[in-house]
Chains A and B, each alone.
Chain A
Amino acid sequence: MRIVFEKRKTTSVAAMVLVPVVSFLVSLVLTAILLLVFGADPLKTFAAMAAGAFGNIHGFSETLVKSIPLMLTGLGVGIAFRLKFWNIGAEGQLTLGGVAAAGIALFMEPFLPGRSLLWAAVLGGMLAGALWAGISALLKTSLKVDETLVTLMMNYIAILYSEYLYYGPWRDPKGYGFPGSRMFSEAAWLPRLFGRAHAGLWVALILAVVLWIVFKRTRWGFELQIIGASQKAARYQGIAVERNIVLAIMLSGAICGLAGAFEVTGISHRLQQGLSIGYGYTAIIVAWMSQLNPLAVPFVALALGGLAVGGDQIQFVMGLPAAMGVVMQGLILFPMLAGSLFTEYRVKVLRREPAAACTA
């Protein structure tokens, strides 16, 4: 008897749903072991985390605050990943989107009356993200420069540039030395739903549905699918490969830039330290856990956002390090990667038949 892995002819829908769910459960077990080592009761800890993240209106609003940028950046990098374009620059695109939105909110007020200031800030953020990502796409399509390195390095440029701005020229003179710009006028504030949760949630949810329709039901989505699978075949079918890659990556960057614009207009109302706290990297986990399906992104982002808030909670409630949430997040990824085997393969148990069976 022998166990073999057999490649599936079609990816299993059940496995696609089960793998992330089971992976999450496995990561809970792994974390539980770690908690036991720390001498904490795993069940109590998990209960405290869940209660902290989802149990009350304050906790839930904080979970949403963390989930919204994860949804947006997760959707953004997912577009790039579908093209096998490894955009790991969401963090930089988010940061620059925030910088552009802040710049508009801070300095364009005299020219943009009322709510148009907010609209301009948000669109400016998207444009900045699109252009920042577009550079890497242009380098890739015209000079074949590796996008992984370019997008990663451009993160540092964007983050350091934003630091330069809020430590330097944009620093609030009345800020008691606190690194950050002055606060925007209220015209540039994104409406809030409850707590600190803001209207960016609706945008993220609508965007998830729209992107799903684009991928599954439009000609452009089909073209992107062909490009992602084989550029040579796409070119042969008359698809403008380079132009479409640049457009898709700019869209990817625009959505990440939007996340940054929402962070400054919805949460901090100024450009300050803490704009870039790794959403753009966690976005990669979000995108893969959702198997690049935009409709799954909000749920995954909510789970990971809850994990982060719950991790903070156990610091107070259980006296455990807040990093425990980050550790759990990492522990989810391992079973996910291992589990993806089951979406592509099925397990089959073989019993060795004697050769004589052939004569029958």
Chain B
Amino acid sequence: MDERTIPKVEMRGISKSFPGVLANDCVDLVLYRGEVLALLGENGAGKSTLMNILCGLYRPDAGEIYIDGRLAAIQSPRDAQKLGIGMVHQNFKLVDSMTVLENIILGLDTESFVPDWNKVRARLMDLSARYHLKVDPDASIWQLSVGEQQRVEILKLLYRNAEILILDEPTAVLTPQESRELSRVVHAMRAEGKSAIFITHKMEEVTEFSDRVMVLRKGKVVAETSTRNTSPRELATLMVGREILFQIEKQPRQPGEVVLELDHVSALNDRGLPALKDVCLSLHAGEVLGIAGVAGNGQRELAEVVTGLRKATSGTLRIAGKDMTNASPLQIIRQGVAHIPQDRASVGAVGDLSVASNLAMKQYRSKPLAAGIFLLPRRIMDMARRLIDAFRIATPSPQTQVKFLSGGNIQKTILAREIGAVKTVMVAVYPSRGLDVGATETVRRQLVAQRDNGLGVLFFSEDLEELLQVSDRIAVLFEGRIMDVFPAEGADMEHIGMLMAGMSGKESA
């Protein structure tokens, strides 16, 4: 470290607690000019809390922040903005109905009452060209893809002359191509002398994006090193605090009879446009069928048709041999189909209800949790305690509201409940998305365990490596069609990538 340079940002002894958790425990952070720092840690390690303190959303219980060597009193995001600090949050803070241009100057007090739109536009286009952030200034936000919205967020910060950019898990919502573009943008900003802090829990991104990496675990800094001097495996171990098994051991496949069959099924999406086109699939007992594809190619609709949440417009759905086409969700639950939904916070779990209630939500209708029309609260609590132990759900008590749990523990709660209810088919939609290494491992293991127990697992994932590791067979979905189905063993990633992009294997050869 160069003693003569004054750090751009220095956070000293930052502590912050929330009810029941010490989110940051005496954290020191240093960021230099023209540097990209990766902030690595599991869910709930305190990364976002620390950054929310830096950008003025939270106030620390203790600790000090120095910007350019001067003690800074950051009381609000406005203060942070004046100091050149800007953050791109996981959930974008844009106004959907306004245009890109309007969003850019929203909240700026340097603009006059009637903004000079030509000037704003010229400045925006200049920034857009300089940092390779292509965007249509007159498009409304709702018309933009997630990747484009993220570009608007970054442009917004650059427009405000941000010198310190905080990106909170920016790649979680991006396609691989968009991620690569983002890395170019970050490097361009660094070349201009700007600094960036990059929150992530993906090891590959640390090497791709950053100069230095700081690892947080349970609110404490456990390591800080130059990115060049470390390896993904070392980082993973530091992050979780134990060795991670990247490989899952699987028994040889022993497929049984067909448990789920889709016969020329078509369905519409929420906007009434065709989302599934003539899909034919069969899933055997004791098998994981992986569904590959870029998000938005009919995955959600496929999962919803199978679980009865969406009507099929044509075709037949059979579960364990029975025709269940357009059966109600309850009828399909009664066939023993469990579902880990894509949207875990608002569909999979109910934040305002307790962990115990959430665990009971699938089986409260029958024994042993209910007797006739009555619930048996003591049995529900017993079951909840048992599942909390078995799945190592980190919660202060079974009565704690689910909204206070971290993302990984919410997902474990859903997993525990659905595994308890499954009898024929498990539908898992992006079950490990956004989870840390430890929770991801639990999820993958449990899915494979279900397969070994003789269930059929329909497994949706965007992570090809994960898909190949967990699945027995893979089906590629593109624009609502099944492009191909083939065994996972020996499958070629390039080939899958081609199919995901809509090119059939033969053309690419």
Q: Which residue of B lies closest to A225 (CB)?
A: B353
Binds A, one of B122-130, B264-272, B356-364, B430-438: B356-364
Is B136 part of the binding interface, using a Cβ–Cβ cutoff of 8 Å? no
Q: Which of B19, B362, B374 contacts A7 (CB 8 A)?
A: B19
With A9-B400, A238-B328 known as contacts, the answer to whether A222 contacts B364 (CB < 8 A) is yes
| Centre residue among B309, B360, B374 by max chain A CB count within 10 A | B374
Q: Mark A274-316, 1 if CB is under 8 A from B, else 0.
A: 0000000000000000000000000000000000000000000
Question: B357 near A219 (CB under 8 angstroms)?
Answer: no
Query: Is A36 an interface position by the 8 A CB rule?
Result: no
Q: Quick check: is B454 within 8 A (CB to CB) of the other chain? A: no
The answer on a CB contact under 8 Å between B357 and A225 is: yes
How far is it, in angstroms, between the C-alpha of A77 and the C-alpha of B435 when the chains are bound?
Answer: 41
B333→A238 contact, CB < 8 A: yes
Q: Are B63 and A355 in contact (CB under 8 A)?
A: yes
Contacting residues, chain A, for B487 (C-beta < 8 A):
none
Q: Are A229 and B63 in contact (CB under 8 A)?
A: no
**Contact of B396 with A9 in the complex, beta carbons under 8 Å:** yes
Which residue on chain B has the smallest CB distance to residue A346? B19
Interchain CB contact under 8 A, A233 and B346: yes
Known: A233-B349, A355-B64. A218 touches B341 (CB 8 A): no
What total of A-B pairs shows CB separation below 8 Å? 102
User: B352 in the interface, Cβ–Cβ < 8 Å?
Assistant: yes
Using a CB-CB cutoff of 8 Å, which residues 345-385 of chain B contact chain A?
346-353, 357, 360-362, 364-365, 370, 373-375, 377
Question: Within B325-348, which residues are at the interface with A (CB < 8 Å)?
Answer: 328-330, 332-333, 339, 341, 343, 346-348
Q: From known contacts A9-B19, A220-B373, infer whether A236 and B13 are also in contact, taking CB-CB under 8 Å.
A: no
CA distance A218 to B377 in the complex (A): 10
C-alpha gap A222/B361 in the complex (Å): 9
Give A233 to B370 CA distance when docked, in angstroms: 20
With A235-B329, A238-B333, A350-B61: A219-B349 Cβ-Cβ less than 8 Å: no
Contact of A240 (CB < 8 Å), options: B330, B352, B362, B365: B330
Q: Taking A8-B19, A225-B357, A233-B348 as contacts, is the C-beta distance between A218 and B375 under 8 angstroms? A: yes
Given contacts A10-B399, A229-B351, contact A217 B377 (CB under 8 A): yes
Smallest CB–CB gap between B77 and chain A, Å?
18
Contact of A233 among B63, B350, B360 (CB under 8 A): B350
**Which positions 381-412 of chain B face chain A at CB distance < 8 Å?**
396-397, 399-401, 404
CA distance A350 to B61 in the complex (A): 7
Complex contact B62–A218 (CB within 8 A): no
CB distance from B161 to the nearest CB of A (A): 29
Most buried by B among A6, A225, A232, A233: A233
Number of interface residues of B (CB under 8 A): 48
Which B residues lie within 8 Å of A10 (CB)?
397, 399-401
Q: Which of B286-327 contact A (CB under 8 A)?
A: 307-309
Partner of B361, one of A221, A232, A237, A356: A237
Interface check A358, CB cutoff 8 A: yes
Whether A236 touches B396, Cβ cut-off 8 Å, given contacts A219-B373, A355-B62, A355-B63, is: no
Query: Is B445 an interface position by the 8 A CB rule?
Result: no
Report A93 CB to chain B, min CB distance, Å. Answer: 26
Which A residues from 232 to 251 make CB contacts under 8 A with B? 232-233, 235-240
Q: What are the residues of chain A within 8 A of B78 when measuring CB–CB?
A: none
Q: Given A218-B373, A238-B329, A238-B330, does the pair A355, B13 have CB atoms closer than 8 Å?
A: yes
A32 to B19, CA, bound (A): 39
Task: Give chain A nearest CB distance to B225 CB in angstroms.
Answer: 21
Residue of A nearest to B417 (CB): A237
The answer to whether A6 and B373 have CB atoms under 8 Å apart is no
Residue in A217, A233, A235, A352 whose beta carbon sits within 8 Å of that of B374 in the complex: A217
Q: CB within 8 Å of B: which of A305-360?
A: 350, 352-358
Within the complex, what minimum Cβ distance (angstroms) separates B273 from chain A? 21
A232/B353 in contact, CB under 8 A: no
CA distance A95 to B394 in the complex (A): 52
Residues in chain A near residue B19, CB distance under 8 A: 6-9
A105-162 contacts to B (CB < 8 Å):
none
- Bound: A279/B425 CA distance, A: 53
Whether the pair B373, A230 counts as a contact (CB closer than 8 A) is no
A53 at the interface (CB under 8 A from B): no
- A219 and B367 CA atoms in complex are apart in Å by 12
With A219-B365, A220-B373, A356-B13 in contact, is A230–B350 under 8 Å at CB? yes
Chain A residue with the shortest CB-CB distance to B343: A232
Docked CA distance A99–B377 (Å) = 42
A229 touches B13 (CB 8 A): no
Contact B377 A230 (CB under 8 A): no
Judge if B488 is at the interface, Cβ distance under 8 Å: no
Q: How far is the CA of A354 from the CA of B347 in the complex (A)?
A: 44
Q: Which residues of B lie under 8 Å from residue A236 when comparing CB positions? A: 307, 309, 329, 339, 341, 347-348
Contacting residues, chain A, for B399 (C-beta < 8 A): 10
A244 to chain B, nearest CB (A): 12
Is B12 among interface residues, defined by CB-CB distance under 8 A? yes
**Is A96 at the interface (CB under 8 A from chain B)?**
no
Q: Smallest CB–CB gap between A285 and chain B, Å? A: 23
Q: Does A256 make an interface contact (CB < 8 A)?
A: no
A357 touching B374, Cβ below 8 Å: no
A222, B401: Cβ atoms under 8 Å? Answer: no
Within 8 Å CB of A8, what residues of B? 19
Instruction: Provide the residues of chain A in CB contact with B357, threshold 8 Å.
Output: 222, 225-226
Q: B353 contacts which chain A residues (CB < 8 A)?
A: 225-226, 229
Residues A219 and B361 in contact in the complex (CB < 8 Å), given A233-B346, A238-B329, A353-B62: no
Q: Mark A18-48, 1 if CB is under 8 A from B, else 0.
A: 0000000000000000000000000000000
Given A236-B348, A239-B330, 13 extra CB contacts under 8 A? A6-B19, A7-B19, A219-B374, A226-B361, A229-B350, A229-B353, A233-B347, A233-B350, A236-B341, A236-B347, A238-B308, A350-B61, A358-B63
Q: Report B's interface with A, CB cutoff 8 A.
A: 12-13, 15, 18-20, 26, 28, 61-64, 307-309, 328-330, 332-333, 339, 341, 343, 346-353, 357, 360-362, 364-365, 370, 373-375, 377, 396-397, 399-401, 404
- B-binding residues in A (CB < 8 A): 6-10, 216-222, 225-226, 229-230, 232-233, 235-240, 350, 352-358
Chain A to chain B contacts (Cβ below 8 Å), 10 pairs: A7-B18, A10-B397, A10-B401, A217-B377, A218-B375, A225-B353, A226-B350, A236-B348, A352-B61, A358-B15
